Structure formats: C-alpha cells, structure tokens
Amino acid sequence: MAKEDTLSHATALAEGLLAPMGLQLVDIEYRKEGRDFVLRLFIDKEGGVTLDDCAAVSREFSELLDIEDFIQEHYTLEVSSPGLNRPLKTDADFERYRGRLVKIRTFELVADEEGNKRKTFLGDLVGSENQIVVVKLREGQLARIPRNKIAKANLEFEF
C-alpha cells in the first residue's frame, strides 16, 4: 500500500475511533525514522488531553490496526497531544482559536494591508472567512492570507 493510502486509511480509522471518545484528530504522520516507520497521532479535546487519554487511544487504535492489518512495514505507534504550539489546519481550528497569538508561514510572499510582502506572519488570529485567514499583525495592520498559500500555521505560546 502506498504511503498516502496508508495515511488516508489510518486517518479514517482514527477519526472513527476518536469521535465517540470526545476527542479530535489534530494531525497524523506516517514517516520513516531511522530503520522503521512511525505512525504518530496528535489528539485534542476541550480542556486538553491527559496521559490517560493518550494511553486509551493508543490501546484502542493499536487493536484496530492489528485487526485491519494494512500496514506492511514495521512501525511504532505514538499518540500525543499537539502541544503548546498546536498546528492549525481546518476551518474549525481557525475559528476556535480566534484572538490567540498565531504564527503563519506561507509558501510564497504575501502582502499585508500596507503592501509589505513576507512569508512569516505573527499576530492575533481574527478568524477565517471564504478560505482567507485574517491576522492582526504585531505591527498593527491586518493580513489576509489565502488558505492555499499557508505552508504551516501554529498557535504561539505567550509568556
């Protein structure tokens, strides 16, 4: 099975398992690290995930993977929280974290409302509308960033 197919199948299984548990799949990775592969799930819920949540998902998901048996390579399963610098990937993420400090990196230069072109945007998330993410930059101006130009978006921890 191709890597993309493995990731797609694992994503569907994980989402089906997590929803009834009140958990959300934030991100999933399947990649080679050293000699073996790692299947890594990042999960979240309102109020944050606990070690018990991660352990329960690991047990249940491991059983599902054993039953489905679609991963041919030797792999390790890891389940964790997304951490303080949680990635933002979906419309729901961009809405849920309105008002929070975010860092967005784009594939190419994007201009803010004053015409300054950049690839890195740091500021407070205003929201998302029509596939455009709006950020009030630290310098005070707004930036409207098309979702298809975002390479990476994360919450930033404020000290």
Residues of the domain holding 69: 3-80
With H, G, I as helix, E, B as strand and everything else as coil, classify residue 99: coil
Cα–Cα distance, 98 to 139 (Å, whole number): 18
- pTM, two decimal places: 0.73
Considering the chain, what percentage of its residues have pLDDT values greater than 70? 99
pLDDT at 63: 95
Residue pLDDT, tens place only, 23-38: 999 889 999 998 889 9
Could you tell me the CATH number of the domain that includes residue 98?
2.30.30.520
Domain identity same for 43 and 96:
no
pLDDT band at 159 (very low <50, low <70, confident <90, very high): low
Stretch 81-87: mean pLDDT: 85
Cα–Cα distance, 152 to 119 (Å, whole number): 10
Domain identity same for 9 and 67:
yes
Q: Average pLDDT, whole number, for the chain?
A: 91
Domain identity same for 75 and 100:
no
Choice among 26-35, 66-75, 83-92 with the minimum mean pLDDT: 83-92
